[in-house]
A = this chain, B = another copy of it.
Amino acid sequence: MQSKTVKPFKPFSSFTRRDFLYRAAAVGGTSLLLTTMNAWGMGINSTVSAPPALTGSGKGKKVVILGAGLAGLTAAYELGKLGYQCQILEARDFAGGRCQTARKGFALTELGGEKQTCAFDAGQYINHGPWRIPLHHQSTLHYTRLFEVPLEVMVNENDHSYVYSENAGPFAGKRMRIKEVKADMRGHVDELLAKSIKNKQLDQTLSADDQRLLLDYLVHEGHLSATDLTYSGRPGRGYTVYPGAGMEPGPGKASDPLGFKDLLESKLGNVYSAVHDFPMQANMFQPVGGMDAIPKAFEKRLGKVIRYRAEVQTIRQNDKGVTIAFKDTASGKAGSVTADYCLCTIPLSVLRQIDTDFSDKFKKAVATVAYAPVGKIGLQMKRRFWEEDDQIYGGHVLTDLRGINTISLPSSNWQKQKGVVLGYYQYQTAAIEISALSPAERAEFAVAAGEKIFPQYRKEYENAFSVAWHRVQYNLGGWAEWTDKTRAAAYPTLVEGEGRIMLAGEHLSYLTGWQAGAIESAWQQIARIHARASA
């Protein structure tokens, strides 16, 4: 089922790591890195780490909040503290929005798809929405700390893991340890530069002192021989013989380096860069037991504020208030809520299909932004072969296998019998194509790819749970995908809101796809509501 817009998956050569890994493993839009707008005008610190310090009271005022995702939950919690009477209308029978965790019994029926019921063993799960919290996302970490949601490290970099590409020249179709590629590319490059300095090929560029200092650095960083500046491997790339005990145990004949020309030709050096770019820097976190611990912590504190199974049908407002009509998805009965203000956190992909009385300009803005097709699959394996056989503990197998992008190993249940592997994290046309497959076919697709890298894959595969966010009824996409053009056209209008209705969500942030985007957007917009209500 080839779409007309199928593009061959870019080989490493034309992907910067930013592109490759960011598309492969990031949950943020590329516009994050492209726009050059100024600091936020509302005067909150550049790393927003706390809710706005609002004074006054919301007593006697009602706010209806549409959606119990992270933005809606945050808004209800914070406005509640100010005395506002809030009610959240949530279409599902649980809170969290995209923040979901699939474990035994979790059910999902995509539009036009079969019902899936997750069959993972007790204790196993997959975070098929947000799956990691960057250390910089102090807004998300504000609530995990406040609500005492226990965190654990989510291993996001593991050089002992593999990189696998079928377009890697001499290393095509060969799984390589990432650390070998790193150690050897850097060693060879450092050798080249060191020798150029030694041979006085760079005299005009650096002073003699600086050359000496640079040589020192290169010998150190690249593990070069101090005498002849050559790179011939290092312990960090691995040993053929490991150090051990007893009489003649090593301590380690370092394995031979990969050839410089081969490495250059393979372009595998492009899977890493000098440092991790924001937001992927170590350390990253996940809540113990599943990301949905976060919405659950909100739910516990909001209680009856949230009305579940309330699917919004119409949105109306006048100068006196707002009226939201909804349908109870269990009984089919119609209902309605009136309030002084409304904070609508419904994804724009869904909102554009709802009957509202927004101005044409506003409706046009709502309809402007595209939403990302995104697919993820969790594969329960009977045996943690990646740990037992390959000594890979967490992290990602980097690959450009189409529709896979990354195979990610779990950072939970260390050394237990079983584990759930993220079998693919796909985007764009591959996500659209694979999502047309049935759950069983999607699993076969993932297993057929994975077994190219891990021979144990098929034998140990047990069952799967997959999601295609663009086919999920109340989301219709993974996240908002702004471009400079659409941001310029629609974003200010949406942030401004209209009348008594404000919008909030990851789509109204520069952290699209991140929980922090939703939370920080909510913080901003409740400040607006409060300012308006206090006026």
Contacts and interface: CB of A to CB of B under 8 A. Distances in A.
A277 B37 contact: no
Interface in A227-275: 234-253, 260-261, 264-265, 267, 269-270, 272-275
Interface stretch (A98-106, A157-165, A295-303, A325-333): A157-165
A276 interface: yes
Contact of A214 (B248, B264, B524): B264
A122 interface: no
| Copy total for this chain | 2
A210 interface: yes
A492 interface: yes
A155 interface: yes
Residue in A223, A264, A523 whose Cβ sees the most chain B Cβ within 10 Å: A264
Given A186-B274, A217-B264, A236-B273, A245 B39 contact: no
Nearest to A508: B245
Interface string A29-53: 0011101111111101011100000
A402 interface: no
A509 B160 CA distance: 24
Interface in A108-165: 135-136, 138, 141, 144-145, 148, 150-153, 155, 157-160
Contacts of A521: 245-246
A33 to B, nearest CB: 7
Given A213-B267, A246-B508, A283-B394, 5 more contacts: A135-B391, A190-B274, A234-B274, A242-B278, A249-B509
Contacts of A237: 275
A495 interface: yes
B277 A391 contact: no
Interface stretch (A56-64, A76-84, A177-185): A177-185
A510 interface: yes
A189 B495 CA distance: 43
A250 B510 contact: yes
A274 B213 contact: no
A242 B394 contact: no
B160 A281 contact: yes
A441 interface: no
B150 A153 contact: no
Contact of A13 (B159, B216, B414): B216
Nearest to A413: B150
Contact of A249 (B33, B40, B182, B236): B40
Contacts of A425: none
Contact of A221 (B187, B210, B243, B274): B274
Contacts of A524: 245-246
A389 B41 CA distance: 23
Interface string A386-423: 00000101110000000000000001001100000000
A181 to B, nearest CB: 9
